[in-house]
Amino acid sequence: MYRYIVQRLLQGIIVLFLVSIATFGILQAAPGDPVETMLGEGSTQLTQEDYDRILAKWGLDKPWYEQYFTWLGNFVTGDFGQSIVRAGVPVNEIVLDAAGPTVRLTSLSLLSAILVAVPAGMIAAIKRYSIFDSGIMVWASAGVALPNFWVGLMLIILLALYLGWLPPSGSGDWKHYLMPVFVLAINETAILARLMRGAMLEVLGQDYMTTARAKGLREYAVIGRHAIRNAMLPIVTVIGLRMAFLLSGTVVVETIFAWPGIGQLFITSVYRADYQVVQAIVVLFTVLVILANILTDLTYAVIDPRIRLN
């Protein structure tokens, strides 16, 4: 078990290294540069000397591999460097500032997705082929198919513009949470509900269910004690994996709802060629995905004793 964990972590470090070097390469290949974005639309007419001086100030005049190793050296000590666009501000600080809103948004979304999807999937399975079942399945298909930027904009138009119930964007009080949490949760809800339904159906067809009923257990006990527990197994593992997808969803949702989180920071930093910040976010996401994968494997092993990790 420990050996397995160590093995996976070592693999993770290699993946991290490859991802970071790839990101660095891609950023270098995309020739937009931060000096240009910092100049903005202002009237300053930079001369070549001034331009070179500014590049040198940020070490951007060095060859890319040198820049990369400087970055790597700092990274190993937990230092992500400084944002170039937000001159002087440590990247750690910027990313941490943005992490709070994103964690709140994603965890609320995931939580509401679970709270809705698990019972919905269960009921759909138990009442198979009922109207309720069909309704859930239509909803689930739509949830997977509808792009979140579209749903987001439609919601804003409906709830903020026409009905005036909610503020169109921003963050602050609870009202600001409703729309982004909903939009981010749609997809998760749909996937989890389908999965739950499938898992439930499979479990319900098992011999031990018949046995349980034959023992004379009441139906709710059959479902509650035997079916749900077994059906939850695949759900738990998937929830871990979905965390990574949720994070990618924030890129769009946070931009639409002007939510000051990691997703919006990522987009802004890409457009403004703020290399250090982009690099930090990519690395952070990579770490999260790697950890989520390892944890999922472990959870699986813990929940289901038949699974051996080695």
Partner 1 sequence: MSEERIGIERLLSRLDGVSRRDFLKRSAIMGAAVPAFASLLAACGGDDDDDDDDTGGDEDGGSSDPTATTSRSVPTSAVGGQEATATEEEAMDDEPTATAGDEGGEDEPTATEEADSGDSGEGQQGGTLILMGHHEIASLSPDDAGPTVHWVMVTQIHNALVELDAWYVLQPTLAESFEVTDDGSTYTFNLVDGVLFHDGEQFTSEDVKYTFDFYMNPENAMLTASDFAGITSVETPDDLTVVMSLEGPNAAFLANAGQAFIVPQHHHSEIGEDAYKSDPIGTGPFMLSEYRAAEFTECVAFEDHFRGRPLLDAVREKIVPEPSVRSIELETGEADSSVWALVTEDNIRLRDSGDFTTYVTSSTAVNHFPMNNERPYFADREVRRALMYALDRDLIVNELWQGLAVKATANISPALDFYYEPDVTEYPYDPDMAVQILEDAGWVAGSDGVREKDGVKLEWTIAVIAGDQARRPEAEFAQESWNAIGCNVSIEDTTSASSGMRDGTHDMSLYNWTYGGGSGEPDGSNTLRSDALNNFSKYKSDQMDELLDAGLAETDPDARAEIYSQVQKLVAEDVPFIFVKYWDWFNFYNKRVKGLPEDVLAGSQLYNACYTMWKEEES
Question: Of 80, 182, 257, 266, which one interacts with partner 1 (CB under 8 A)?
Answer: 257
Question: Of 3, 14, 48, 76, which one interacts with partner 1 (CB under 8 A)?
Answer: 48
15 scored as a contact of partner 1 (CB under 8 A): no
> Which tokens sit at 212?
């349980």
62 scored as a contact of partner 1 (CB under 8 A): no
Question: Of 74, 171, 237, 293, which one interacts with partner 1 (CB under 8 A)?
Answer: 171
Using CB under 8 A, count the residues that bind partner 1: 56
Question: Do residues 22 and 279 make contact, with C-beta atoms less than 8 angstroms apart?
Answer: no
C-alpha distances out from residue 33 to 29, 36, 70, Å = 11, 6, 19
Residues near 283 by beta carbon (within 8 Å), at least 6 away in sequence? 16, 19, 20, 23, 75, 80
296 scored as a contact of partner 1 (CB under 8 A): no
DSSP 8-state assignment for residue 96: H
54 scored as a contact of partner 1 (CB under 8 A): yes
22 scored as a contact of partner 1 (CB under 8 A): no
| Cα distance between residue 282 and residue 288, in whole Å | 10
Q: Shortest gap between Cβ of 108 and partner 1 (angstroms)?
A: 18
CB count, 10 Å around CB of 270?
Answer: 17
Which of 166/301 has CB closer to partner 1? 166
| Cα distance between residue 17 and residue 88, in whole Å | 26
Question: Of 81, 121, 167, 240, which one interacts with partner 1 (CB under 8 A)?
Answer: 167
90 scored as a contact of partner 1 (CB under 8 A): no
| Cα distance between residue 299 and residue 58, in whole Å | 44
92 scored as a contact of partner 1 (CB under 8 A): no
- Tokens 């460097």, located at residue: 81
51 scored as a contact of partner 1 (CB under 8 A): yes
What x-and-dash track marks residues 229-248 binding partner 1 by CB under 8 A? --------------------
Residue of 296, 193, 191, 187 whose CA lies nearest to 250? 187
What x-and-dash track marks residues 110-149 binding partner 1 by CB under 8 A? ----------------------------------------
Question: From the CA atom positions of the chain, what is the Rg in Å?
Answer: 24
Residues near 58 by beta carbon (within 8 Å), at least 6 away in sequence? 34, 84
| Cα distance between residue 257 and residue 250, in whole Å | 10
Question: Of 28, 112, 268, 293, which one interacts with partner 1 (CB under 8 A)?
Answer: 268
173 scored as a contact of partner 1 (CB under 8 A): no
Which residues of this protein are in contact with partner 1, per CB under 8 A? 30-33, 35-51, 53-54, 56-57, 83, 85-89, 94, 97-98, 153, 156-157, 160-161, 164, 167-171, 255-258, 260, 264-265, 267-268, 271-272
